[in-house]
Amino acid sequence: MPRTTADTPTPTSAAPAWHEDALCAQTGPEFFFPEPGSSVSEAKRICFSCAGRAACLDYALTHDERFGVWGGLSEKERHALRRTRP
C-alpha cells in the first residue's frame, strides 16, 4: 500500500529558497520518500538532473535529514557520507 502524504516525512524546517525551482518540487513525493525496500533510482535520476542538487545535499547533511532521497543520495548514502566528513 503506498504511503499517503500524511505518512511522508517532511523537512525539519521551512523550505529553503532553492527548493522552489528544484525538480523535486515539480514531482510527487512518492519518488523521494518511497516505501521501504522500493527503488530510489527514479528519484536519483531526477536529482542528478537538478541544478539545486548540491544545495539540497548540503541542506540534508546540515539539517540531518534522515528520510528520503536528498541531493541524489539515499538515507544510507548520506549516513556514510556524514561519517567521512570532518
40 is in an annotated binding site: no
Determine if residue 25 is labeled as part of a ligand binding site.
no
Give the single-character DSSP code of 34: P
Any known ligand binding at 34? no
Q: Kindly give, in sequence order, each residue whose CB lies less than 8 Å from that of residue 48, ignoring residues fewer than 6 positions away.
A: 72
74: DSSP letter: -
| 41, 58 contact by CB (below 8 A) | no
- 10 labelled binding-site residue: no
What residues form the annotated binding site? 24, 47, 50, 56
Annotated binding site for [4Fe-4S] cluster: 24, 47, 50, 56
